[in-house]
Amino acid sequence: MTTPALTTLSEEETMFRDSVLKYARERIGPKVAKMDAQNQLDDDVLPGLFEQGIMGIEISEEYGGAGGSIFDSILAIEAIASVDPAVSVIVDVQNTLVINAIRAHGTQAQKDKYLPKMATEWVGSYGLSEASSGSDAFALKMRAEKRGDKWILNGHKLWITNAKESSLFIMLANVDPSKGYKGITAFLVEKDFKGFSVGKKEDKLGIRASSTCELLCENCEVPEENVLGPVGKGYKVAIETLNEGRIGIAAQMLGLAQGAFDLGMKYMLQREQFGQPIAQFQGLQVQYAHVAMEIEAARLLVYNAARLKDAGEPFLKEAAMAKLFASEVAERAASLSVEWHGGVGFTKEFPVEKFYRDAKIGKIYEGTSVIQMTTIAKILQKEYAD
């Protein structure tokens, strides 16, 4: 990754980003191709991420975390994604979705119980999507019924990131379908709870080392104290969490774009045709100059959204813009990098084809590109109406 020409990084932030990048290159980089081919995470990756404090960035030090900010999480996600986007999404979901939700909506008892584990050993997943509930997130059909001092969950979830490795799952279920989205409630479900299981693992186009699985609840018993946030307010938990999660995916796509671009530039400077490096040809210069500009613009959008979130300022429009634009730039940068590599770029001998496959998911998960545009448009309408 080249050093961004960005003056808003403090010395401490720069050191943190560079340390994560160094770790990713040295400890994760050699495993990337094998993990992709085998469709699974290497056994050493998660312990290493925990040892580095990367899996609990925003957890306070009293719980064993790093006591960092969303901006710190974004820097880590971006750096890791430049090496392997599949590993970066594991870090993203852990920090911006699961930990974020517990910190924002958990009771003191829930924080005391789960945050120390999330900082040191437990991976988390976010169970929202279902077969009938994708962009229409609140069309979910998983049900929760109160029986004594427990809630009984029934239904299944699809496309859940980190599911194979996770010990804790935030599950969204409806306790009263007659109330529509106002019946949706969030639950903290441990993998060993009776009636809970992880189902089929998807065989995906990209980010293959990151597990994506089905979750099954068959009379799953959840203690009453594991309701996350008020009963019937799960929609609030989901909306607030996903808004931050968009910045995380934007950072992943930013890192992916940078990683693909770096490979392309190095190759074009080494590959000679007609007596000179192909980077000297004007047709390619126009292409890579434009991509470099877009990556830097994406970086500014992503960093700005994270800064706003940390400052407690409105950031929904900026997060949607960052996610939308960064995913477009990632796909474009990876595609052009394959072309810059010529024939070898189309083979698995060179790593750039993996970036190309990994990029596609950026326009799909945690809000499709169309949903991001709709969100931006609605906010703009309100701003101009006011």
Q: What 8-state DSSP symbol labels residue 265?
A: H
Distance CA 159, CA 31 (A): 24
Distance CA 252, CA 191 (A): 27
pLDDT tier for residue 135 given thresholds of 50, 70 and 90: confident
Numbered ranges of CATH 2.40.110.10 in the chain = 125-232
CATH 3.10.20.740 correct for 236-385:
no
Contacts of residue 374, defined as CB under 8 A and 6 or more positions apart, other chains included, come to none
Q: What are 177-200's pLDDT values in tens digits?
A: 999 999 999 999 999 999 999 999
Numbered ranges of CATH 1.10.540.10 in the chain = 11-123
Q: What are 139-183's pLDDT values in tens digits?
A: 899 999 999 999 999 999 999 999 999 999 999 999 999 999 999
Q: What are 336-359's pLDDT values in tens digits?
A: 999 999 999 999 999 999 999 999
68, 185, 275 from 10: Cα distances, Å:
14, 40, 43
Average pLDDT of the segment spanning 209-230: 98
Instruction: Report the range of poorest mean pLDDT among 132-136, 220-224, 256-260.
Output: 132-136
pLDDT tier for residue 138 given thresholds of 50, 70 and 90: confident
Q: Which residues of 245-261 are buried (b: 16+ CB within 10 A; e: fewer)?
A: bbbbbbbbbbbbbbbbb
Beta bridge partners of 127: 171
Distance CA 20, CA 54 (A): 8
- Looking at residue 4, its pLDDT comes to 43
H or E segment and range at residue 288? helix 282-310
- Looking at residue 134, its pLDDT comes to 83
- Looking at residue 136, its pLDDT comes to 87
Q: SS3 letters for 86-152?
A: HHHHHHHHHHHHHHHHHHHHCCHHHHHHHHHHHHHCCCEEEECCECCECCCHHHCCCEEEEECCEEE
Q: SS3 letters for 299-329?
A: HHHHHHHHHHHHCCCCCHHHHHHHHHHHHHH
Q: What are 352-383's pLDDT values in tens digits?
A: 999 999 999 999 999 999 999 999 999 999 99
Average pLDDT of the segment spanning 252-275: 98
Q: In the chain, how many H helices and how many E strands?
A: 12, 10
pLDDT tops 60 at residue 49: yes
- Looking at residue 8, its pLDDT comes to 74
CATH class of the structural domain 125-232: mainly beta
- Looking at residue 2, its pLDDT comes to 47
What residues are annotated to the active site? 366
Average pLDDT of the segment spanning 83-95: 98
Q: Burial-class residue 95 by CB neighbours within 10 Å (0-12, 13-18, 19+).
A: buried
Per the listing, tokens 């774009």 go with 257
Average pLDDT of the segment spanning 71-90: 98
Q: What 8-state DSSP symbol labels residue 10?
A: -
Give the fold, CATH level 3, of 11-123: Butyryl-Coa Dehydrogenase, subunit A; domain 1 (1.10.540)
Q: What are 115-128's pLDDT values in tens digits?
A: 999 999 999 999 99
Round the average pLDDT of the chain to a whole number and report it. Answer: 96
pLDDT tier for residue 386 given thresholds of 50, 70 and 90: confident
Numbered ranges of CATH 1.20.140.10 in the chain = 236-385
Distance CA 9, CA 20 (A): 15
pLDDT tier for residue 258 given thresholds of 50, 70 and 90: very high
pLDDT tier for residue 7 given thresholds of 50, 70 and 90: very low
- Looking at residue 6, its pLDDT comes to 46
pLDDT tier for residue 261 given thresholds of 50, 70 and 90: very high
Q: Burial-class residue 115 by CB neighbours within 10 Å (0-12, 13-18, 19+).
A: buried
